[in-house]
């Protein structure tokens, strides 16, 4: 991108227009800490999908023209400055004048192209040669790579916590093959990262939905870059004192996950391969017989009639609603999958309605675009249109009428079996007709938005929506899971950094398929997986057709016992998880956090991939290696108390703990109070009228949030907020807010 010499500056409201010889750059002051840089190479009045409404607030800022220096203009708020020179050479500085991020003044070192002969030899042996060339992107910006800088965030990308040295693409991709650590893209596009070095931190969100690229120093050790095939260069720079501030700013921009229904946080069992009502009933019954708490046995695609969305196969799954009602008696809630592809089938209501109203995407010649998904030939609703979303939302009435309580959105990258959708298929974004190239990454986002709105309207409850694909900001509508993982140890290892990075990217409600989706699980793997996932906010065992059955009882009594222990542990800590989700609405912070989020100056945490925090006060160190029965745990500063035996450890050291198959090492920070509930088989089995407080240490403090766990009454003040202090053997309770029926009993358990 060429800018040329700086030619002038104009301030209009909260915008600073910088004129260069060849380009205009608009710097918009969003808040004291957030600055948007908008280079309208494509569309001047672009409206974001991720950021809804006007987020800019009035802020005092100065614009100074600098004489005789490299930089020509300085724009400053009280928290951050941006200095800009010729050729859009820029530096962001913190309030002390220290550098946070600078542009890199040079060009990229593109890879040398291999000879045709080498390429064909590589291709002949089956190597992927698509990545062997590199090119400058139409939209591109290079940044100076500082020696010690680390990069976090980026949503569901594979690999490790620190993304430095890796390159990624934002292009929602359905990948059933093994997700390995160098994968450029998965299902979601979250072009947001947190840059962290010694004494500084900042965040960047690149708001562009076209295919984009983020290279964190893989191509060069001098620079890192962002590129996109089309669109504007449109980024939000966020300043702060700590990583947590950046998460707060990013979720201020793109939104925070609303409180879910309490039951949705419980355990779910699933398999693509429950092919009849009988299968679902058998599994539900077995869950209760084995005493493993469970909320839902989820309905994968087979419940539909020929994979037609919003239908029910009355033959295999019994008349619609019957099974759902029967299982409700035993506390099971119904959750089913809905894919976007609508079967091409004259006479099928959904297809016909969509055709009549012209709701499906068209090819470049104006014909309704057809590809193939589960039902065979299928058409794709144009979810970027409000009227289409409304129609889709209303279609859920068929499901809510038969008792469906949660919706799982899948295949919404969108997936297709007859080759990828051409980039010129016509879809809409914000009701503006455009092409698939722009709409692809927001297709799942819009679908989950429609689903959320439909379920909210139809049930009056907080919707459970789960999606596989989405874009930044979808956390406002949906929980996510990480798609088709596999039953391999590297995927237990990966779930920790993956869920931590998703959490720091706004997705506080997230999970992986426990046991692995593809491939055969085994007793040790399944046990270690339920342990590693025990604090997941989306907590589901799921696997694919044809793989070894994966319900815990398929692996013998010992597995069932350990599995039950950890599902029960999850239920015991439900109020703590729920408290963190309440807090998350205010701070954007996730439940599952990497240690670096709270101990950011401690270098032992910088790329700690095999342990995590739950909130601030619980540290979890799962065994993620086959055969291991001991593990090294890093305890950061403070005193940490083992949950299992009350043993106290001073932090700031590595310790080695025993972790036989049935032990998940958990440590509670001294001085904290963790709320716990009693055993139940499902949420709602009995009212939660007793709260137990786990008090770690002789003096401790904690808060707790309580509401009906179901609807939106909490927004009208129907909730309680408790503040607890434990001192000299006595518990003191202060009500910070009182608006809901209080617990009948509050017990103390000392640790």
Binding site for ligand GLC (CB under 6 A): 272, 300-301, 337, 410, 468, 483-484, 517, 542
Cβ-count burial 304-319 (b if 16+ within 10 Å, e if not): bbebbbbbbbeeebbe
Q: Taking a C-beta distance cutoff of 8 angstroms, is the pair 302, 316 a contact? A: yes
Residue of 603, 725, 749 lying closest to 676 (CA atoms): 749
Distant-in-sequence, close-in-space partners of 498: CB < 8 Å, separation ≥ 6: 156, 157, 158, 482, 512
Q: Taking a C-beta distance cutoff of 8 angstroms, is the pair 466, 507 a contact? A: no
Q: Which ranges of 460-604 does DSSP label H, i.e. alpha helix?
A: 489-504, 523-532, 557-572, 574-587
Nearer to ligand GLC, 228 or 509 (CB): 509
CA 731 to chain CA centroid, Å, is: 37
Q: Taking a C-beta distance cutoff of 8 angstroms, is the pair 228, 213 a contact? A: yes
Closest contact distance (angstroms) between CB of 315 and ligand GLC is: 19
Nearer to ligand GLC, 317 or 517 (CB): 517
Residue written as tokens 């010729």?
86
Residue of 444, 428, 571, 569 lying closest to 507 (CA atoms): 444
Nearer to ligand GLC, 542 or 598 (CB): 542
Nearer to ligand GLC, 167 or 337 (CB): 337
Q: Taking a C-beta distance cutoff of 8 angstroms, is the pair 245, 253 a contact? A: no
Dihedral sign for Cα 535, 537, 540, 542, please: negative
Nearer to ligand GLC, 441 or 485 (CB): 485
Catalytic residue among 33, 313, 413, 551: 413
Closest contact distance (angstroms) between CB of 410 and ligand GLC is: 5
Closest contact distance (angstroms) between CB of 270 and ligand GLC is: 7
Nearer to ligand GLC, 187 or 200 (CB): 187
Residue of 227, 104, 190, 280 lying closest to 507 (CA atoms): 190
Distance (Å, whole) CA 493 – CA 296: 26
Closest contact distance (angstroms) between CB of 411 and ligand GLC is: 6
Catalytic residue among 453, 484, 551, 707: 484
Q: Taking a C-beta distance cutoff of 8 angstroms, is the pair 409, 448 a contact? A: yes
Nearer to ligand GLC, 396 or 540 (CB): 540
Closest contact distance (angstroms) between CB of 484 and ligand GLC is: 5
Closest contact distance (angstroms) between CB of 482 and ligand GLC is: 10
13 is catalytic: no
Residue of 85, 87, 80 lying closest to 237 (CA atoms): 80
Q: Taking a C-beta distance cutoff of 8 angstroms, is the pair 222, 430 a contact? A: no
377 is catalytic: no
Nearer to ligand GLC, 417 or 686 (CB): 417
Q: How far is CA 308 from CA 275, 301, 403, in A?
A: 15, 9, 18
Residue written as tokens 């009882």?
553
413 is catalytic: yes
Tokens of 616: 């601030």
Q: Of all residues in this chain, which one has the CB nearest to ligand GLC in the complex?
A: 272
Catalytic residue among 215, 410, 551, 600: 410
Closest contact distance (angstroms) between CB of 262 and ligand GLC is: 24
Closest contact distance (angstroms) between CB of 326 and ligand GLC is: 23
Q: Which of helix, strand or coil describes residue 399? A: helix
Query: Which positions are catalytic?
Result: 410, 413, 484
């Amino acid at each position: 991108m060429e800018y040329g010499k700086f030619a002038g500056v104009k301030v209009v409201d909260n915008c600073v227009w910088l004129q260069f010889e060849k380009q205009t750059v608009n710097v918009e002051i969003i808040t004291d800490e957030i600055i948007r840089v908008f280079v309208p190479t494509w569309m001047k009045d672009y409206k974001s999908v991720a950021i809804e409404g006007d987020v800019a607030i009035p802020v005092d800022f100065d614009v100074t023209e600098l004489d005789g220096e490299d930089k020509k203009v300085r724009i400053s708020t009280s928290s951050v400055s941006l200095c800009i020179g010729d050729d859009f050479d820029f530096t962001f500085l913190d309030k002390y004048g220290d550098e946070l991020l600078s542009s890199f003044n040079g060009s990229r070192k593109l890879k040398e192209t291999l000879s045709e002969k080498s390429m064909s030899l590589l291709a002949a042996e089956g190597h992927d040669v698509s990545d062997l060339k590199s090119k400058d992107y139409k939209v591109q910006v290079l940044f100076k790579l500082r020696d010690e800088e680390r990069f976090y965030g980026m949503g569901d990308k594979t690999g490790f916590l620190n993304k430095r040295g890796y390159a990624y693409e934002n292009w929602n991709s359905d990948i059933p093959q093994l997700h390995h650590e160098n994968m450029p893209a998965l299902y979601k596009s979250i072009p947001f990262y947190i840059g962290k070095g010694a004494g500084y931190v900042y965040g960047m969100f690149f708001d562009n939905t076209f295919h984009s690229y983020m290279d964190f120093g893989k191509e060069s050790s001098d620079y890192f870059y962002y590129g996109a095939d089309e669109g504007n260069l449109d980024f939000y720079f966020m300043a702060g004192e700590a990583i947590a501030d950046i998460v707060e700013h990013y979720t201020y921009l793109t939104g925070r996950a609303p409180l879910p229904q309490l039951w949705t946080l419980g355990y779910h069992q699933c398999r693509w391969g429950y092919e009849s009502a009988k299968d679902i009933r058998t599994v539900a019954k077995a869950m209760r017989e084995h005493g493993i708490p469970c909320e839902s046995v989820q309905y994968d695609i087979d419940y539909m009639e020929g994979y037609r969305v919003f239908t029910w196969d009355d033959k295999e799954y019994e008349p619609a609603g019957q099974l759902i009602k029967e299982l409700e008696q035993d506390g099971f809630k119904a959750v089913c999958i809905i894919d976007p592809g609508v079967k091409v089938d004259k006479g099928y209501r959904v297809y016909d309605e969509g055709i009549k109203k012209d709701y499906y995407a068209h090819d470049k010649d104006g014909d309704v675009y057809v590809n193939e998904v589960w039902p065979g030939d299928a058409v794709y609703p144009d979810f970027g249109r409000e009227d289409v979303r409304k129609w889709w939302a209303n279609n859920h009435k068929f499901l809510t009428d038969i008792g469906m309580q949660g919706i799982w959105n899948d295949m919404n990258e969108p997936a297709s079996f007859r080759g990828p959708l051409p980039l010129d298929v016509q879809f809409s974004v914000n009701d503006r007709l455009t092409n698939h190239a722009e709409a692809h990454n927001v297709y799942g986002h819009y679908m989950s938005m429609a689903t959320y709105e439909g379920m909210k309207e139809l049930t009056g409850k907080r919707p459970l929506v789960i999606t596989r694909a989405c874009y930044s900001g979808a956390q406002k509508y949906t929980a996510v899971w990480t798609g088709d993982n596999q039953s391999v140890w590297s995927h237990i290892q990966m779930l920790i950094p993956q869920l931590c990075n998703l959490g720091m990217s706004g997705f506080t409600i997230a999970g992986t398929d426990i046991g692995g989706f593809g491939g055969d699980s085994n007793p040790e793997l399944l046990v270690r997986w339920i342990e590693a996932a025990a604090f997941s906010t989306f907590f589901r065992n799921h696997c694919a057709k044809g793989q070894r059955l994966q319900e815990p009882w398929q692996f013998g009594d010992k597995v069932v016992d350990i599995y039950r222990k950890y599902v029960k542990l999850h239920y015991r800590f439900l109020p703590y998880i729920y408290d963190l989700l309440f807090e998350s609405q205010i701070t954007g912070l996730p439940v599952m956090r990497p240690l670096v989020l709270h101990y950011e100056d401690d270098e032992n945490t910088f790329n700690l991939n095999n342990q995590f925090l739950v909130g601030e006060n619980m540290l979890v160190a799962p065994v993620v290696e086959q055969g291991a029965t001991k593990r090294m745990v890093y305890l950061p500063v403070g005193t940490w108390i083992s949950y299992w035996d009350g043993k106290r450890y001073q932090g700031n050291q590595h310790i080695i703990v025993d972790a036989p198959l049935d032990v998940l090492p958990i440590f509670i920070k001294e001085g904290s109070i963790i709320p716990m509930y009693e055993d139940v088989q499902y949420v709602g089995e009995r009212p939660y009228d007793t709260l137990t407080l786990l008090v770690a240490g002789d003096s401790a403090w904690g808060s707790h949030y309580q509401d009906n766990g179901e609807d939106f009454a909490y927004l009208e003040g129907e909730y309680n907020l408790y503040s607890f202090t434990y001192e000299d053997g006595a518990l003191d309770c202060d009500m910070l807010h009182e608006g809901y029926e209080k617990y009948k009993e509050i017990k103390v358990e000392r640790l």
